[in-house]
Amino acid sequence: MNRWKRVMAILLAASAALSGCGSGAGQESGRTGAKDTQMGRYMEQEIMLPEEIARQSYPALTLQTMEDGSLKLAEEQAGIFLSKDQGETWERQDEAWLSDLAETAYISTLALAPDGGAALAYTPYEEDGQDADAESVETQKTGPEEAAGADEGSAESAADPDGAFYSEASFQPQYLYRSPDGTTIPITYENGETYFYQLWFGQDNRLYGCSIGGGVFYIDPQTDTVKQLFEIGGLVDCMVFTEKRMIAFSTQETAVYDLENGMLAEPDTALEQFMGSTLEEAAGLSDGHAVVAAAGEGGDVFYFVTEKGLYRHAVGGQTVEQIIDGSINSMGDPMTSFGGMAVLPDGQFAVLYEGGRLCRYIYDETVSSVPGEQITVYSLEDSYTIRQAVSLYQKSHPDVYVKYETGMSGTDGQTAEDAVKNLNVRLAAGEGPDILVLDGLPMESYIGKGILADVSGIVRQMDGEDALLENIVGGSGEEDGTIRYLPVCFRIVMTAGDRQTAEQTRSLSDLADAVERLRQEQPEGSILGLRSADEVIRMLGDVCRNAWTAQDGQIDQEALAEFLRLAARVWQAEREGYTQEELEQYEGNQEAWTTDLAGEGDYYKNLSSGAVNMAMGLQKLGVGLVKGMDFDFNILATLSEKEDDFAYGPFEGQAGSVYLPKTMAGLAAASADNKTAADFYRFLYSREFQSAGLAEGFPVNEAAFGELENNPRGEDSSGTIAMAAEGSEDLFLMDVKWAPGEDFQRLAEIVREAATPSLADTNVEEAVYEIGPAALEGTVSAEEAAEQIAKKASLPLAE
């Protein structure tokens, strides 16, 4: 069996300081900057795991501190290991029952007890021997509850050798308890509407289960009884047990349960306020957690870890104390989630990361509490890619603190205009950041005012494995050879559908013709999978916006009117296939499409989702973004190989062959001589970082881009998609293959043909998105809308 198949389950609706000083609840740890002379900081040290654990296979690990203080680590295939020296050495335990079970069943959750017991949930494989196993499930979801409904078991039906079919499937796992003496005891819990997706042991070795319905249960294996203790909103992501309390962190709230009195305790206000929205993203995690926790030094004290760091809290206390700042170690890496943690002797901690990394955190009083070197990176909105770069850079440069600032927090009510004005004041005063992420900022104004340094010298020094794609560098350069910015990654826009249509649909005019023709052939249902004028205009605008502004910087009203006319043809033909009730129902659930891996939103723009809809017969043609390989381009390549009449190709819209730059970074002219700032800027484009797995686009590093041809897991399979349409019990399964060489070469050709960046003039773009839908709906003419857009966009965002 291929035991390391990654599965993506998608439920569609229409298809304190570092020295140990504490900070107040809900507050960030204080920093005194690069001149801070305080000493002492926790340093990260990786613990070597047993050789039997294959890291490249993304193992799902479980960590537990035993009653004698030793550490136990379990992985379903590799087995169970014990360390009596805090991870220095590991001894494999005679627990063949676990690996034996893993050969015949999918183990969806595993818990270890402090006394040596274990409990798990599992689903036997199909008896026909076909490969239905899953390493993990990733969810693009319509909400926490719906995501749970599309959990691991969605893929438990055997897959067709051809890779895709419909079948009826339900997920009802079985449960067992393994006592310390080796006795296996089945646990009975049968509920057609819910199941246990997590199991946890308390300090007293009692077993608890969390259901997808929000119930938290006590499970007694000896008497085979299950008793519900309380309900919690959302899905429980993590539980921790002190001597007297159970603390449950869910995607919606934090609950404290009094174990002695058998009732919910008073809310822990400080903890709830601190957590805020941290756990809202947990519903999209698979084997990992957004927070992990462990009991502290007695009483009701516990420690927990989030992406912001490691904290200490006493239940009911008024403060949440930061012990370790996550921004300068692996905790802050947005590409990983947590598997568990342990409190070690001598004030040390161990944190287990999803994918097979275990790190020890040791307090070193000889290093400064804040790294001596400091640089600042700024972006208007939070950037997943920048957070990843900051985390990885600081791990390898512990003497550097990279301060990351965002102009808009999303919670303070500050607008983009406010943020840009504030930034401009700082820049004018010479107090601006060292690195500027220019997405959403007035880039041309900054270039004209000399705010951005010429980085062409840095680019010229990047050769060999650090060389960049020539077309991306060329697209960012000016006529005199200067380069003021470079995208860290990029996307492309493509079409997919039946071979004739996909190959002949390159321009916006071609698309309008194709959608109208397909509508004549199919009077009902979806053609493009877009259900509002706003979606149509935003999707097409990504690839057409260069045409809206002439070379002299003036708005080209004629080109803008043409865009609106053609987009209106697309929308009118698309909407004819829907009833008004269907459109209204979709509008009410539109928020369901605002989540993707990087938290960016606009999931409807992804061509991969449209391609799967085509395979399911839910739409006829797709136009959209292609950002990477896993569950993106690989889907197109798989369908192209599987279906004779399926093809993909580039889409040029109105502006020719373009690419969409993402995370455009510039080095501030005032920081051009700052060696640390220049080094971080270079790191952004190095093979080291670009090969780390960028979630927001293709790498601009040539070697890193070439590496995409090879599956990092060393297999031909990328994973399996399991999808269900609303109101249907049928489950669509598709085995996604890693794009073969010929498909990857075709992708490389399309990428290298894209020589021009599609850049947004923020004023124009926002005006188009505000006024343009009226032209698509026919309430104003395209010419009238273009004129209104030109007038509105003439007002500058900020100078």
Q: What amino acid occupies position 577?
A: G
**Angle, CA 367 vertex, CA 363 and CA 372 arms, to 5°:** 135
Q: From CA 562, how far away is CA 134, in angstroms rounded?
A: 48
Instruction: Enumerate residues 6+ apart whose C-beta is below 8 A from 315.
Output: 242, 245, 247, 256, 265, 268, 271, 300, 301, 302
pLDDT tens, 274-311? 987 666 655 444 557 999 999 998 889 999 999 999 99
Here the tokens at position 562 are 């043409």
The reported pLDDT for the residue numbered 794 is 79
Residue 16, H or E segment: none
Q: What is the pLDDT of residue 472?
A: 95
Is the distance from CB of 234 to CB of 214 less than 8 angstroms?
yes
Contact 225, 208 (CB under 8 A): no
Q: How far apart are the C-alpha atoms of 171 and 175, rounded to whole Å?
A: 13
pLDDT at 659: 96
3-state secondary structure at position 27: coil
The answer to whether the beta carbons of residues 767 and 774 sit under 8 Å apart is no
Residue 737 to residue 5: CA distance in whole angstroms: 11
Q: What is the largest CA-CA distance in the chain?
A: 80
How confident is the model at residue 426, as a pLDDT?
94
C-alpha to C-alpha distance for 542 and 564, rounded to whole angstroms = 14
Tokens describing residue 449: 């005012």
C-alpha neighbours within 13 Å on the C-beta side of residue 733? 28
Q: What share of the chain is helix, strand, coil (3-state, %, to 5)?
A: 30, 30, 40
Q: Which residues pair with 201 in a beta bridge?
A: 207
> Could you tell me if 555 and 548 are in contact, meaning their C-beta atoms sit under 8 angstroms apart?
yes
In this structure, what are the phi and psi dihedrals at residue 283, rounded to the nearest 5 degrees?
-65, -25
Sign of dihedral through CA atoms 190, 193, 198, 199? negative
> What is the DSSP annotation of 245-302?
EEEEEESS-EEEEETTTTEE----HHHHHHHTTGGGGGGG-SS-BS-EEEE-SSTTEE
User: 3-state SS of 340-355?
Assistant: EEEEEHHHEEEEEECC
619 with 526: CB under 8 angstroms?
Answer: yes
Q: Report d(CA 586, CA 142) in Å as an integer.
A: 12
The whole-number pLDDT of residue 11 equals: 31
Distances (CA, A) of 287 to 57, 108, 339, 340: 13, 9, 7, 11
Q: How far apart are alpha carbons 331 and 309 in whole angstroms?
A: 6
Length of the chain (residues): 799
Residues in the chain, pLDDT under 70: 1-37, 54-59, 126-171, 277-287, 410-412, 588-602, 716-718, 722-731, 795-799
- Strand 717-724: give its sheet, edge to edge: 136-140, 6-11, 717-724, 730-737, 164-168
Residue holding tokens 């003036």? 554
For residues 443-478, one letter each, b for 16 or more C-beta atoms within 10 angstroms of the residue's C-beta and e for the rest, the string is: beebbeeebbbbbbebbeebeeebebbebbbebbbe
Distances (CA, A) of 108 to 174, 175, 785: 10, 10, 54
Q: What radius of gyration do the chain's Cα atoms show?
A: 27
- Please tell me the predicted confidence (pLDDT) of residue 724: 61
Q: What are the C-alpha distances in Å from 235 to residues 132, 149, 350?
A: 26, 11, 25
CB neighbour class for 481 (10 Å; exposed up to 12, middle 13-18, buried from 19): exposed
